[in-house]
Amino acid sequence: MQRPASITRLLVSLSSLVIIIAGLKAAAGLLGPILLSLFIVLVTAPLVEWLRRRRVPNWLSYVLVVLGVVAIGLLLIGFLGISVVQLTDALPTYRSRLEVQLAALVDWLSDRGLEASDIIELDLIDPGRIIQLIISFIRGLLNTLSNAGLTLFIFIYMLVGSASFSRKLNRSLGQSSPMLNRIQGFSRSISVYLFIKTGLGALTAIGQTLLLWAIGVDFAILWGVLSFLFNYIPNVGYIIALIPPMIMALLEFGIGKALIVFVGYALINNFFDMVIAPRYLGKGLDLSTLVTFLAVIFWTWVLGPIGAFLALPLTVMLKKLLLEPFTDTRLLATLIGAEDQEDTINYRVQPDTKRKR
């Protein structure tokens, strides 16, 4: 028999939700490295399994993967740090270029009988502010990686203990447990999704870096690295990664090549996102476009900058493990899912469209 709706029950549920969110936000400094380590494990777990299938000893498989992650992390932190120093040194040059661009704009408007002050407030435009904003942005990203030591230790313990944890989970819940199936399905789907997303993001970043290098935009490799990192942020990541190279192209060459950067980025990104990605990622992780956008805002507010990168897997984990299993929240899980709920409720990579239903 269905229980009648109760305003008290609703208020208690909402109050509990507020308390949980407040707790997550208060513990963001600790949760960030833990969650980041968890999803790095999910990305690297297929590599460990691949090495084992090639008859590499277990201990050597773990060592190779850990050393690979450490090397990539150190290279990333070192590269971003050097790039910040180089951008800071080049700031006076770009300041003068921006002043030239503004002067050309004022002259162009004057030739057409328009006063620049009637259209834009030139006094509010600090020629160095735009580049300084980019530098601050990269420094913020670098600060996000400042807990690299803690994240690394958590990652190592999680990776080494993942096999033991899986066996304990099997013994505790039983092979036929629905919850065990959900946990294993979530782990498998997120693992494959992040692994493929990493590969596609790398290809996208390489294409965009080559485009910038061909045009002659300064710091092309830096913008390519940022493009790869922001590939993990759904919807808005591409836009954030596009802004710095467009500004640089504008300062160096003018509006023409800035538009080439805009169009080139759009073509490369859409090719991998709309042509290549659906072939390997199926219908994705069963979240509506609106929910993925709101998830970035919410998790960034709760966990800080790292929340933007983890927004998608965290939302899928919430949906699969906390909303779908329970009758009271199953409706909410359906509402935040993709439109074709019946086809996408079980995430599958490279779906077989010829399978009989």
pLDDT at 175 over 90: no
Average pLDDT over residues 253-279: 86
| 132-156: pLDDT as tens digits | 666 666 666 666 665 666 777 888 8
pLDDT at 31 over 80: yes
pLDDT at position 159, please? 83
pLDDT at 78 over 50: yes
pLDDT at 74 over 60: yes
Residue with more model confidence, 342 or 319:
319
Q: Binning pLDDT at 50, 70 and 90, where does residue 347 land?
A: very low
Task: Of 190, 212, 200, 231, give the one whose Cα is nearest residue 41.
Answer: 190
3-state SS string for the chain:
CCCCCCHHHHHHHHHHHHHHHHHHHHCHHHHHHHHHHHHHHHHHHHHHHHHHHCCCCHHHHHHHHHHHHHHHHHHHHHHHHHHHHHHHHHHHHHHHHHHHHHHHHHHHHHHCCCCHHHHCCHHHCCCCHHHHHHHHHHHHHHHHHHHHHHHHHHHHHHHHHHHHHHHHHHHHHCCCCHHHHHHHHHHHHHHHHHHHHHHHHHHHHHHHHHHHHHHCCCCHHHHHHHHHHHCCCCCCHHHHHHHHHHHHHHHHHCHHHHHHHHHHHHHHHHHHHHHHHHHHHCCCCCCCHHHHHHHHHHHHHHHCHHHHHHHHHHHHHHHHHHHCCCHHHHHHHHHHCCCCHHHHCCCCCCCCCCCCC
pLDDT at position 90, please? 77
pLDDT at 116 over 60: no
pLDDT at position 27, please? 86
Residue with more model confidence, 247 or 176:
247
Number of residues assigned to the chain: 357
pLDDT at 351 over 70: no
pLDDT at position 73, please? 81
Average pLDDT over residues 190-194: 80
pLDDT at 303 over 80: yes
Residue with more model confidence, 15 or 127:
15
Candidate from 16-30, 97-111, 148-162 with smallest mean pLDDT: 97-111
Residue with more model confidence, 105 or 18:
18
Residue with more model confidence, 281 or 215:
215
